Structure 1
Amino acid sequence: MNDLSLTPNLLQADVARHLTFTLGKDAPNASVYDWRMALSFAIRDRIVEPWFASTRRTWAEDRKRVYYLSMEFLIGRLLEDATINLGLRDVAEEVMAGFGQDFRTIVEDEPDAALGNGGLGRLAACFMESMATVGCPAYGYGIRYEHGLFRQRFEGGRQVETPEDWLSQSHPWEFARPESAYTIPFKGVIETQGGRDVWVPGETVLAEAHDTPVIGWQGKWANTLRLWAAKPTTLFDLERFNRGDYAAAAEPEALARTLSRVLYPDDTTYQGKELRLKQEFFLTSAALQDILRRFKASHTNLRDLPKHVAIQMNDTHPAIAGPELMRLLVDENGMDFADALETARGCLGYTNHTLLPEALERWATFTFGNVLPRHMQIVERIDSWHRMTYASRPHYVGIVKHHEVRMGELAFIMAHKVNGVSALHSELVKKNLFPELHKLHPDRIINQTNGVTPRRWLKMANRPLAKLITDTIGDGWEDDLDRLRGLEPHVDSKSFAKAFAAAKRENKVQLANWIGSHCGVQVSPDALFDVQIKRIHEYKRQLLNILETIARWHAIRANPKANWVPRVKIFGGKSAPGYAVAKEIIHLINDVAEVINNDPITGDLLKIVYPANYNVSMAERLIPAA
């Protein structure tokens, strides 16, 4: 267990030491950035010890590990979150005040890590923190995107995308692991050698690891978020450079880095589709090679892999994990196909996030076979095995159909368990999304309701409410939410209701002030804040929301003296760059806002706010006030 008895004097000395010896600055000339980095390094020092201790204990006890594969980890800012989990938030604020620095200013200087877009990525981040809190050994595997999804701004009400620049400054929470690098193959041909199919890749890149420790509540346990950066296998073509062909000399590095530059590149072109598939394989292959390397360091029988390894596929993006794990077991380790299939399925689980069949990834067999020719063979063989094993499988069900590889079906068939993210969702996965596969595998689909970590979303983001809860029922609810039932006897208490309303209003005042300064719209904290924050998509119903807002506006104008509850409609979220309809929805929301916010008849009875570039830090402002 980590020693949390760090005094202000000790932390002050650590911050001063890092300011001087790590950043090379003296206090009179230090910027906000310098102070943030010095404090971050000082707090990180307190995380490393339990991180190492957790790793040593996992190895010593030969404990089973969870490996969480996700294209997104929407981790947000880490400094304040780390101080909350270490119990050092107030100490850190006191120390920085002693240096003449405002803790809030320092915290907000940290850029959000541009590693995700929405609920899928935030779920992954919450799972990582929660697994650390309960002491479950785990690795998260993702991609270290240089520019994230994109930074959103509005021009004339329309979304404009520019690159995120979160890595333009040093990232104090990560440790580069150049020794943990794996070769990732693409394309090429399949040759028969000694009666075996051998993949001869046409392209290769290196996946280089960067580790961020994820500390749990009270610093008792820490896990690892390992992000992969793409590097070239051939750094630099000196011969071309010396011939004066400077651009071509740097081409291998530029092409390799493309894989880890942007989250969800526009896939309206063939090149975009190929890049997305390459990204998904890059993440998955690097993770699986790392998992097997770690397993083989202390075990010899790969058939025991499911006893020690649980691999969770977060949506269909890492669904290539099934075929890739089989390739590594068969081609690289000599396991026969049947044993590899059973071993892989014993390790893999699949979380489904959407009920829309068209939202489940499908790759043209041409694209899939061109980028991953060996995996095309393996996928076809898996599909054939499943069809023959389950003779009652309808002819229209399968992994490879109509010249497409269906990644949802692949993930389902290769997982020993499939879960939805709410009870209703899981039932609809059975009834609507995979009814035929559910009939063949009636025990495979289970429910795992989405949750959020209360340490970030209540203890940190909603300090007024967190204080009220602690004052009412005491400490301990932060890692045992069942204790919140202790609030039930206070529901009818007038004093508690008054304190609860005061906590909510404090959050609303803070948000109203931020909206005024950030968006230039004056809103009343006494209005109802109606918030919809998620990625912009037709099925997410932002269009329905803005149409209801227009109808409400007309109704208020028709009878402005009626007993209307003042309402502020708050939108947040980004559209995919190539999604024309979603971008027009954004344009409509902003145009409607321009009209309604300047209507003297409706006035404060109805306002619309759409702050640009929604991220975790913005959510931490919006959610407590909703």
Structure 2
Amino acid sequence: MNEPTRLRATPAASTDHGDDTRTAMSGATIRRAFLDHVFYTQGKLPGHASGNDLYQALAHTVRDRLVQRWISTAETYQSQPSRTVAYLSAEFLMGPHLGNNLVNLGIFDDARAAMASLDLDLDEILAQEVEPGLGNGGLGRLAACFMDSLASLEIPALGYGIRYEYGIFQQSIIDGMQVESTDTWLRNGNPWEIQRSEWAVQVRLGGHTEHYTDDRGHYRVRWVPAKTVHGVPFDSPILGYQVNTVNTLRLWRAEATEAFDFHTFNRGDYLGAVNKKVTSENLTKVLYPNDETQQGKELRLEQQYFFVACSLQDMLRLLSKQGLPVTSFHEKFAVQLNDTHPAIGIAELMRLLVDDHGVAWPEAWHVTRHAFAYTNHTLLPEALEQWPLELFGRILPRHLEIIYEINARFLDEVRIRFYGDESRLTRLSLINEHGQRNVRMANLACLGSHTINGVAELHSRLMREDVLKDVYEMWPDKFTNVTNGVTPRRWIALSNPRMTRLVTEAIGDGWIRDLDQIRALEPYADDAAFRERWYDVRRENKRDLAKLVRENTGVVIDPDSMFDVMVKRIHEYKRQHLAVLHIIALYHRIKSDPHADITPRTFLFGGKAAPGYHYAKLMIRFVTSVADVVNNDPQVRDRLKVVFLPNFNVTYGQRIYPAADLSEQISLAGKEASGTGNMKFAMNGAITIGTMDGANIELRDAIGADFFFPFGLNAAEVYALKAAGYRPATFYESNPELRAVIDLIQHGFFSKGDAAVFRPLFEGLLQHDPYMLLADFASYVHCQQDVSHAYGDRTRWQRMSILSSARSGRFSSDRAIREYADRIWRVEPVPVCLLHRASGQVQGAQQAGEGGFSERCGS
């Protein structure tokens, strides 16, 4: 729809329809407002509107319907002494906004009807939205789900992050290999954001510190920076589901304090005239710059400090606006660190309190430790951030001094608590003294937070027993678990409208707000007529996905085959290559016995490898090379198909999760913190094959052991085997099928005879195999046979599918947010009353009419 589109109508007359009707929710009003925006906002005659014009017009139409709620929410929070959640995250992978806002406003069908009345297809307009790629995977998607649930549960919250000009790269597959290109998500503008230049702040970097005594005899420190940049906030509304609450996602963009040097330009140095602008704006240019270089490391640290410094200054501004002292910061704000990326906020708040506001150190430390809480997202020690001391001190000299002071006082406590245990001092110190000295950000996050949580029960236990064992023994009361969750609004109601209609017809629509209610679907698993309708819904979803695959890859797949899906970030510990070994095993069986009983399967992979992660990129090439062979072999291509769908993102996820039959959750036990893809698949009726890792354990317990396909070593067995001296070659030597699979790879069968292509892969497996693929191979292949037998029994499979959805209520992000609110943040819901836009007075339920949910005000 990039060509001009002919509309049947002309823009509405400029008559003022009144405060309530201008943003009413009826199809007729939406239609009129949409035409107004085509004409007045996009500046187009309706007959010449492009696809983007139509999207922008509808987006502004919807945003208009959010603004009254947004302003009312801000006024409510300003007037009430409620505690506010400040969610600090380097990633917010929000996905497209338009469809989600239509669902949460409850006007999706009205919007579709309004567009249809103009001979327009709402789905085509939705497809015009460029997804904001401001995240890499689960971390950012979790943050997005949490923002949705915070608003839906009417909890005051601000999301703080970075407005990256270029998001996660666009992925293409060329000659079987990942090729990255720039993600220009802002190329057509962003209709959802509002720039708030009046709330810009200054952020200092580099330089040195000066120590002095003030006129009252107090010891003080002054930070003299080498450079200063502006942080400019851009606000996006986050609407809750059928409530008046619209919370704010505030993302910061870096700008130069002086964007253009007029005198330098007049001297003829045209590049020098804009140099400060260029270097300053580099701070928020790209999501996760490659940190293999020194410059990349510097930029990542500067990015992290930049958004945290902006956010904390903004919180202090809000505190001042309410007339509250800075020492009440922890009473007003519950600050959540989403992983270690924002952990520098602990040192920054200390700096702001002690240096800028003159608060005594003990009181400042009390405020800080009661304000912050820390979510740990990893069991991989290498993923716990550390910064070289020299680099850290050069960029943040004052913060290094503060960290030294925090550390000195802390280690005094440790010496007394664990008398004579010098090794514990070394492990707990905020400074890693081994080799290149580093600042340990996870240790800082733990020390400066009142609560530390893992994101699945197994993860939290292993965190206490291994990764953060010393911290746990110091402060056992700090630790808790909050298992992750995902929002049913986007991941069922928006993504899977066919299933949504079927479930709502059976049990009502209360489950969209409270996913526990979907349990009422259980009896329908034994209803033959319902099972058949469920099958029809799923088959239509599979047909849609098959069309998407054909359009994007050229591969034709059979909707009647089992859709075996693995979509997630490409990483060794997630073990996409184990799934490929299984594909090769099936291929080998067919080639060895053309009459072998193999259930037809389509294996669908998707995910991005970090640009500098060469092994992960080799894994993608492994998938695509096997696909080339399997898909072009006439003997197997009607029984096995392998597809790598490029550029997996939220938009594609909304098409993939509802169509999957089998969800692959096969990480090595003890390595995946939680996983959230497993939850999205289960909610949409996919059956899970998985290790006893992360949230898989809780998923199996919730759905039932008979409806989950487990395989492989558990975490205790993994540790035991490694301790005994894991020798992967033993499994290769003792398992003929595994040996045949590895030999095909070694001999270059999947690389056109070039054995060197995958040598790092097979040699790594035979010699090291850090994620123990060979140890789990036999169990995995055997379990996949059980999966095939189950899929062959249509009644059994559909029953399992219905029960997977019906028992997924625990994995709603609403449940997770309630647990955070009750046990960590100690915040209460604050219902929002709509304000009249002219007078600012509260609108009653009768006044709100069809334009809102104000009857919930005060509930």
TM-score normalised according to structure 1 size: 0.98
How far apart, CA to CA, are the structure 2 residues paired with 1:593 and 1:385? 58
Residue in 1 aligned with 2:271?
247
Residue in 1 aligned with 2:305?
281
Instruction: Please state whether the residue corresponding to 1:574 is helix, strand or coil.
Output: coil
Gaps in structure 2 of 5+ consecutive residues: 1-19, 214-218, 661-859
Residue in 2 aligned with 1:565?
599
| Structure 2 residue 533 is matched with structure 1 residue 499 | yes
Instruction: Please state whether the residue corresponding to 2:198 is helix, strand or coil.
Output: strand
Residue in 1 aligned with 2:589?
555
Residue in 2 aligned with 1:183?
202
Report the alpha carbon displacement of residue 189 of structure 1 after superposing the two structures with TM.
Answer: 0.4
Matches within 5 A, 1:413-562: 413-562=447-596
Residue in 1 aligned with 2:640?
606
What residue identity is the alignment partner of 1:363? W
| Structure 2 residue 228 is matched with structure 1 residue 204 | yes
How far apart, CA to CA, are the structure 1 residues paired with 2:69 and 2:51? 28
Instruction: Please state whether the residue corresponding to 1:226 is helix, strand or coil.
Output: strand
How far apart, CA to CA, are the structure 1 residues paired with 2:304 and 2:77? 28
Matches within 5 A, 1:231-270: 231-270=255-294
TM-score normalised according to structure 2 size: 0.72
Matches within 5 A, 1:238-387: 238-387=262-411
Instruction: Please state whether the residue corresponding to 1:167 is helix, strand or coil.
Output: coil
Residue in 2 aligned with 1:138?
157
For residues 359-387 of structure 1, give each alpha carbon's deviation from its aligned partner in whole angstroms, at most 9, with x where no partner exists.
11111111111110111111111122221
For residues 296-334 of structure 1, give each alpha carbon's deviation from its aligned partner in whole angstroms, at most 9, with x where no partner exists.
221333222222100001111001010011111111110
Contact 1:47–1:219 (CA under 8 A) maintained in structure 2: no
How far apart, CA to CA, are the structure 2 residues paired with 1:604 and 1:262? 43
381, 396, 399: which is aligned to 2:430?
399
Instruction: Please state whether the residue corresponding to 1:452 is helix, strand or coil.
Output: coil
Residue in 2 aligned with 1:6?
25
610, 635, 650: which is aligned to 1:616?
650
Report the alpha carbon displacement of residue 494 of structure 1 after superposing the two structures with TM.
Answer: 1.2
How far apart, CA to CA, are the structure 2 residues paired with 1:229 and 1:617? 25
What residue identity is the alignment partner of 1:142? G
Report the alpha carbon displacement of residue 271 of structure 1 after superposing the two structures with TM.
Answer: 0.3
Residue in 2 aligned with 1:167?
186
Residue in 2 aligned with 1:91?
110
For residues 553-572 of structure 1, give each alpha carbon's deviation from its aligned partner in whole angstroms, at most 9, with x where no partner exists.
21232223222111111111
How far apart, CA to CA, are the structure 1 residues paired with 2:475 and 2:590? 54
Residue in 2 aligned with 1:36?
55
Contact 1:363–1:406 (CA under 8 A) maintained in structure 2: yes
What residue identity is the alignment partner of 2:70? W
How far apart, CA to CA, are the structure 2 residues paired with 1:117 and 1:451? 18
Report the alpha carbon displacement of residue 5 of structure 1 after superposing the two structures with TM.
Answer: 5.9
Number of residues paired by the alignment?
A: 625
Identical positions, percent? 43
Report the alpha carbon displacement of residue 148 of structure 1 after superposing the two structures with TM.
Answer: 0.6
For residues 62-120 of structure 1, give each alpha carbon's deviation from its aligned partner in whole angstroms, at most 9, with x where no partner exists.
21100001111001111111111101111111111122211111100100012111000
For residues 253-308 of structure 1, give each alpha carbon's deviation from its aligned partner in whole angstroms, at most 9, with x where no partner exists.
11111111110000010000000000000110000110111112213332222221
**Most deviating of 318-327 and 482-491:** 482-491
Contact 2:414–2:425 (CA under 8 A) maintained in structure 1: no
| Structure 2 residue 149 is matched with structure 1 residue 149 | no
**Most deviating of 151-160 and 559-568:** 559-568
Instruction: Please state whether the residue corresponding to 2:199 is helix, strand or coil.
Output: strand
How far apart, CA to CA, are the structure 2 residues paired with 1:323 and 1:569? 47
Contact 2:154–2:243 (CA under 8 A) maintained in structure 1: no
Instruction: Please state whether the residue corresponding to 1:153 is helix, strand or coil.
Output: strand
How far apart, CA to CA, are the structure 2 residues paired with 1:13 and 1:597? 50
Structure 1 556/445 Cα, relative in aligned 2: closer, same or farther at 3 Å?
farther
How far apart, CA to CA, are the structure 1 residues paired with 2:467 and 2:320? 38
For residues 161-210 of structure 1, give each alpha carbon's deviation from its aligned partner in whole angstroms, at most 9, with x where no partner exists.
11111101121000011111111111100111223221101111111000
What residue identity is the alignment partner of 1:31? S
Instruction: Please state whether the residue corresponding to 2:638 is helix, strand or coil.
Output: helix
Contact 1:117–1:615 (CA under 8 A) maintained in structure 2: no
Report the alpha carbon displacement of residue 252 of structure 1 after superposing the two structures with TM.
Answer: 0.6
58, 79, 89: which is aligned to 1:70?
89
**Most deviating of 102-111 and 526-535:** 526-535
What residue identity is the alignment partner of 1:243? R
Instruction: Please state whether the residue corresponding to 1:218 is helix, strand or coil.
Output: coil
Contact 2:199–2:233 (CA under 8 A) maintained in structure 1: yes
Decide which structure has the larger Cα Rg and report it. 2
